[in-house]
Chain A
């Protein structure tokens, strides 16, 4: 019994999946043995939730296959880093290679999956995740355009709406594109949604979230059939 018993219970800090919850949900969908590139930031969390018994091989585009977790703080090698320029480790079987080889893996379709963040996803599978187009922004793209152009499946991990409440899943992206028609599936805090030739299609709702709640926060119609509810 909490000390606050008798007072109105506060609204939960989050509804639907937390960032970790989204990562855990993504991890369920990655088969054993996959070669995977996790984008910098929230997608990196996916590595923590890979189900027991599955081994994934992580690619980092700056030139390492078989990337391992971060070393203990204050240790590690400043020249053993990931694409976010943070120190990492390497797993047994790891390999180093140059940038042309690294992007041959990406562009040549050798990687099974890329998990990326998003500013916007269009119902046509367009992705915008590198620039808001603001006048004072320093444009920087890194390997995002190569990843979406070349990797077989592109999963997007994102909050369903911006901090201001604006939908990130939209009919057509208004921000500068990273790639056209490249997104396979979106994992948000509210739902798992496929991008299909007919537009967004609901795959699964987060615990306690209704279809209507998701649709109200989405900038394009969501198709629906045989929807599963997580935890149901």
Chain B
């Protein structure tokens, strides 16, 4: 019998080690696995490399992980969303590294990493500062930039519903990076608002097949960054 459920977010992130690369799903607050991120803060792993589209807002979620001093480097496309102050302050103080990647290139690097593709050429960013130092090659008379696949040790994502085999469905634009991130790490951890038995989901509709998922945790009413921020919350 296969059952990927764990009883708590605490158990789910217990083995994240210092120096690990961690992919974190979400575009803004949509899809941000806040309970898993907070569990990671409690767990204490540090010197982390975080791969995520944004850097969190207020003093919760990703912003709280950064504020706790656990992140050495962020690989990101847009680290300065309205309401995000923690990352900009740390970056200006030289306390966190940033690898800025165009959003589509970030998605494709993660997809490639998960699909066994070492690197690929893309026209995105050719001729711009983000291509500096990278191999450039011309295809059909157009410059392309060599970008490398990206893999991680752990992935933290949020689903709407998961089954015991780790099949996952998402909620609307909360899907964003999660399906690729699920494929690209050694250990993919899903927090899902609903968890059902294998066989209960429509197999034709599954977005992330269970082979990509290692752990499933039931988080029935996941918090939202905006609601926490409106309440003036900070973590821990």
Contacts and interface: CB of A to CB of B under 8 A. Distances in A.
B103 A143 contact: yes
Interface centre among B27, B81, B171 (most CB of A within 10 A): B27
Nearest to B143: A180
A177 interface: yes
A98 B174 CA distance: 9
Contact of B79 (A138, A146, A178): A138
Interface stretch (A9-17, A49-57, A102-110, A200-208): A102-110
Interface stretch (A60-68, A160-168, A185-193, A223-231): A60-68
Interface in B80-104: 80-82, 87-88, 91-92, 98, 100-104
B78 interface: yes
B198 interface: no
A100 interface: yes
A4 interface: no
B172 A79 contact: yes
A186 B12 CA distance: 52
A141 B102 contact: yes
Contacts of A141: 77-78, 100-103, 130
Contact of B107 (A77, A79, A99): A99
A188 to B, nearest CB: 23
B79 A99 contact: no
A145 B125 contact: yes
Interface in B4-43: 27-31
B151 interface: no
Interface string B219-235: 00000101100000000
B91 A138 contact: yes
A140 interface: yes
A150 interface: yes
Interface centre among A62, A99, A100, A179 (most CB of B within 10 A): A99
Given A61-B103, A78-B224, A79-B30, A143 B178 contact: no
A9 B123 CA distance: 53
Interface centre among A80, A136, A141 (most CB of B within 10 A): A141
Contacts, number: 146
Interface in A123-142: 126, 131, 136, 138-142
Contacts of B116: none
Contact of B176 (A98, A126, A146, A176): A98
A222 interface: no
B174 to A, nearest CB: 4
A62 B173 contact: yes
Given A62-B173, A146-B102, A177 B180 contact: no
Contact of B175 (A63, A85, A142): A63
Main secondary structure on chain A at its contact with chain B? loop
A64 B172 CA distance: 8
Nearest to A78: B224
A85 B225 CA distance: 12
Contact of A98 (B79, B81, B175): B175
A79 B173 contact: yes
B210 interface: no
A78 B29 CA distance: 8
Contact of A99 (B91, B92, B177, B207): B177
B179 interface: yes
B129 A176 contact: yes
Given A79-B172, A85-B28, A146-B103, A139 B98 contact: yes
A56 B79 CA distance: 31
A38 interface: no
Interface string B92-133: 100000101111111110110000000000111111111000
B124 A98 contact: no
Nearest to B111: A100
Interface of A: 60-64, 77-81, 85, 96-100, 102-103, 106-107, 126, 131, 136, 138-146, 149-150, 176-180
12 contacts: A61-B104, A62-B173, A63-B176, A79-B171, A85-B82, A96-B175, A98-B179, A99-B104, A100-B111, A131-B129, A145-B130, A177-B127
Given A103-B107, A103-B108, 15 more contacts: A61-B104, A63-B173, A63-B176, A78-B29, A85-B28, A85-B82, A102-B107, A138-B80, A139-B100, A141-B103, A141-B130, A145-B125, A146-B103, A150-B124, A177-B127
